[in-house]
Amino acid sequence: MLSRSYYWLVLALSIPAFLWLVPTIWMVSLSFQPNDVLARTTSSTFLGLVPIPFTVENYTALFAFGQTPMWFLNSIIVALGMTFGVLAVSTTAGYALARLNFPFKAPIAVLCLIGLMVPEQAVFIPLYTMFSDFGWHNSYHALILPRMAVPIGVFLMLQFFKAIPKDIEEAARLEGVSWIQIFWHIMLPLARPAMMTLAILTFLYAWNDYLWPLVSAQQRDYFTITLGLASIQSNFAQSEGLGRVMASGVIASLPVVILFLIFQRYVVQAMTAGGSKG
Amino acid sequence: MSNAKSPLQRLNETQSAYLLLLPFLLTYGLFLIYPFFRGVWISLHDWNLLQVAFNPDAKQFVGLDNYVRVMWGRNIEWSPWARPVLQVLGLLGVVASVALNRTRRLTSLTSVALGLAGAALFLISGVHAGEEGRWFDRRFWPTVGNTVLFVGLTVPGVTISALLIAAALNRETRAMSLLRTLFFLSQVLSVTVVTLIWQIMFSPRQGLIANITELAGGSPINWLTDERFAMAAIVIATIWWSLGIAMILFLAGLQDISKDLFEAGALDNCTGVRAFWHITLPNLKRTITLVIILQIILHFQVFGQSHLMTQGGPNDETQVLVRYIYQTAFRDSELGRASAMAVFLFVIMGAFSVVQFLVGREEND
């Protein structure tokens, strides 16, 4: 069924696809080579793309000393906190805007739509002064709260809830079930796929966020892994050795790459939705 | 569900709606709406970060002074041929928009956008400091120019390569989906991992690129510190990083093109490159427009690549707007001026968001 030209096409595309992967392979490969070798040359075997001579010392050193494990933990806390926060405010607000009638519904929806236009970079200075006034910098909630205010999640959930047929709800209303119960017992279970998409979108964003943590977390104890990696890469050659910095990079990428490989369909959906809407 | 009615269950529709909206509206108001207006308010003050931190009254209302100090200068003039290349390019854009609209190669909205962009380029690049004149802030407009250049190189680079790859990968087979995964993988990495990889890739002493050039007998280029190559370097890293999302959006667009069209085309001997040109491209026009606008919005906010790979250098060649805002605020402590620039950024992003919204709505009709 598949023609010969198809196999040629696959073969021809494998070359750019492999080239696309080379920088990542290189990072992984360097992270498994001894630092004293790397100080001499980075192209030991096949331009350094194969980790020979091989060592896991960079990883053991990373977990023995240094702050990488703590930064990793911080990232987990912040990313999970942000994910649950966004899910909580987005599902509730999305449901209300999609299914309920109430005064001032249209203006509120428009107000949320306008918020999609405000880029993070346009508000990070006033946010910084606000959080300074509250004395909130260098804390987990300072890293989590600003992102919960972004309306993209509300719109994702709104679109999902709108597509659910009305009759389920109406039958429940006739039985005397309250709106809150309908939301909690009927709508939320139905919304699981959409919530999954939103959760992954938020987790990826939180894990990779750079500008706001850079501004808000000044103490190294509150660095996320993304921020910590930035702080050690400016002087990587001298201080800790190239192999160890690369190992930090691999560790920093591991959760999002695993997430991507397991939930590929959701990640693609999430990024398509996030990309085309805001 | 219990029979005894809790207060939550007695709420009517309006009360339930507001209760459900409350958590979002609270965070939204407190951490987005209020900061936005506060940002505008800060931009109207002479506001030093450190002084105000010690003494809240140390700020001073200066009206629009910050905007003038950032964007204007002494003896600023406008002339039609101040920057011939850019201005001719702008005029060409206007001409192209009219011509393409006449021949119906573009929708009216797209041609209006192209025309406005061309006119803006023609007008804005004609502004320059006259004799004895100078800009109050010498770095601001060059920084904006660098940002536009970065966008102007990255967006076509990403769009064209993503389009070609998506068109080639548009088949539901296992090999194709594996290839898609490989192209998409770099998209999920964080900006600091991307800059880490490419900093060392580009390194003249240890980098993979230098190693290859040496094998080929050339002398390695000092990518990140050479004025001619620094911008190219961060553009390459960015294209590598952000190709995936554009590819996925194109693949989604390609799914919507009816298979019948390609089959009918195949009967007329229209396959391969010709099918791409005559069937794929015309049917993908709206998706392409959306992806381009999306990329412009995304890449205009570039920060990490410039901040980490080149520190804005060499000689400010890769200094971009968000990094300049960041530095003005947190290195120079000039919150007022930085906020004025942030408002400028918001206005530009807002304009593109409106276009995005309009194009997106046009698509749904």
pLDDT tens digit string along A180-219?
Answer: 888 999 899 999 989 998 999 899 989 999 999 999 998 8
Q: At what angle do helices B335-364 and B34-43 cross, to 10 degrees?
A: 130
A41 and A119 share one domain = no
Q: Is the pLDDT of residue A162 over 60?
A: yes
Q: What is the pTM of this model?
A: 0.91
**Tens digits of per-residue pLDDT, B169-223?**
888 888 888 999 999 999 999 999 999 999 988 988 888 888 888 888 878 888 8
pLDDT attached to residue B102: 84
Contact A237 B206 (CB under 8 A): yes
pLDDT attached to residue B2: 47
pLDDT attached to residue A277: 46
- Tell which of A125, A170, A276 to mutate to test the B interface (max B CBs under 10 Å): A125
CA distances (Å), B270 to each of B238, B262, B263, B275, in order? 35, 8, 9, 5
A46 and A124 share one domain = no
The model's confidence at residue A92, banded by pLDDT at 50, 70 and 90, is very high
Contact B186 A123 (CB under 8 A): no
A270 and A142 share one domain = yes
Contact B170, B254 (CB under 8 A): yes
Q: Does A95 touch chain B (CB under 8 A)?
A: yes
pLDDT attached to residue B4: 55
Contact B192 A229 (CB under 8 A): yes
A156 and A195 share one domain = yes
Contact B17 A102 (CB under 8 A): yes
B248 contacts in chain A (CB < 8 Å): 268, 271-272, 275
The model's confidence at residue B352, banded by pLDDT at 50, 70 and 90, is confident
B30 contacts in chain A (CB < 8 Å): 149
pLDDT attached to residue B166: 92
SS3 B125: coil
Q: Which of B8, B42, B183 sits opposite A20 (nearest CB)?
A: B183
A115 and A92 share one domain = yes
Q: Is the pLDDT of residue B252 over 50?
A: yes
Q: Considering only CA atoms, which of B229, B224, B219 is closest in space to residue B203?
A: B224
Contact A247, A59 (CB under 8 A): yes
Q: Is the pLDDT of residue B316 over 80?
A: yes
A157 and A271 share one domain = yes
A169 and A222 share one domain = yes
Q: Does B347 touch chain A (CB under 8 A)?
A: no
Q: Is the pLDDT of residue A67 over 90?
A: no
Q: Is the pLDDT of residue A32 over 90?
A: yes
**Tens digits of per-residue pLDDT, A101-153?**
999 999 999 998 888 888 888 899 999 999 998 888 889 999 999 988 888 89
Q: Which of B1, B175, B353 sits opposite A181 (nearest CB)?
A: B1
Architecture of domain B139-364: Orthogonal Bundle (1.10)
**Rounded Cα gap, residues A159 and B149, in angstroms:** 36
Q: Does A30 touch chain B (CB under 8 A)?
A: yes
SS3 for A33-87 is CCHHHHHHCCCCCHHHCCCCCCCCHHHHHHHHCCCHHHHHHHHHHHHHHHHHHHH
Residue in this structure with the two tokens 């509120």, named with its chain if needed: A108
If you write DSSP's letter for every residue of B60-100 in order, what string do you get? EE-TTHHHHHHH-EEEEEE-TTSSHHHHHHHHHHHHHHHHH
Q: Does A172 touch chain B (CB under 8 A)?
A: no
pLDDT attached to residue A213: 93
B 30-89 residues with CB below 8 A of A? 30-36, 38-39, 42, 52-53
pLDDT attached to residue A2: 65
pLDDT attached to residue B266: 81
**Rounded Cα gap, residues B116 and B11, in angstroms:** 52
Q: What ipTM goes with this model? A: 0.90
**Rounded Cα gap, residues B167 and A18, in angstroms:** 18
Q: Considering only CA atoms, which of A31, A243, A226 is closest in space to residue B194?
A: A226
Q: Which of B28, B33, B245 sits opposite A275 (nearest CB)?
A: B245
pLDDT attached to residue A278: 39
CA distance A249 to chain B (A): 6
Residue A95 burial (CB < 10 Å; 0-12/13-18/19+)?
Answer: buried
Q: How many domains does chain A have?
A: 2
SS3 for A232-275 is HHCCCCCCCCHHHHHHHHHHHHHHHHHHHHHCHHHHHHHHHHHH
The model's confidence at residue A166, banded by pLDDT at 50, 70 and 90, is confident
**Rounded Cα gap, residues B87 and B122, in angstroms:** 4
Please give the average per-residue pLDDT across B70-86, as a whole number.
Answer: 83
A44 and A148 share one domain = no
Residue of chain A whose alpha carbon sits nearest to that of B6: A178
A172 and A237 share one domain = yes
A112 and A159 share one domain = yes
Contact B208 A17 (CB under 8 A): no
Residue A45's domain comprises 4-55
pLDDT attached to residue B328: 93
CA distance A80 to chain B (A): 17
The mean predicted confidence, pLDDT, of chain A is 87
Q: Indicate which CATH number applies to the domain containing A84.
A: 1.10.3720.10
Residue in this structure with the two tokens 């107000």, named with its chain if needed: A111
CA distances (Å), A177 to each of A163, A164, B4, B12, in order? 21, 18, 12, 11
Contact B118, B94 (CB under 8 A): yes
Contact A121 B342 (CB under 8 A): yes
CA distances (Å), A236 to each of A38, A62, A233, A239, B113, in order? 12, 14, 5, 6, 45
CA distance B337 to chain A (A): 11
Contact B16 A100 (CB under 8 A): yes
If you write DSSP's letter for every residue of A7-31 in order, what string do you get? HHHHHHHHHHHHHHHHHHHHHHHHH
Q: Does B248 touch chain A (CB under 8 A)?
A: yes
CA distance A58 to chain B (A): 16
Most confident of A57-61, A235-239, B361-365: A57-61
B181 contacts in chain A (CB < 8 Å): 261, 264
pLDDT attached to residue B362: 67
Contact B188, A260 (CB under 8 A): yes
The pair of structure tokens assigned to A179 is 């709106």
pLDDT attached to residue B324: 95
A41 and A154 share one domain = no
Q: How many CB pairs under 8 A join A and B?
A: 283
If you write DSSP's letter for every residue of A190-209 in order, what string do you get? HTHHHHHHHHHHHHHHHHH-
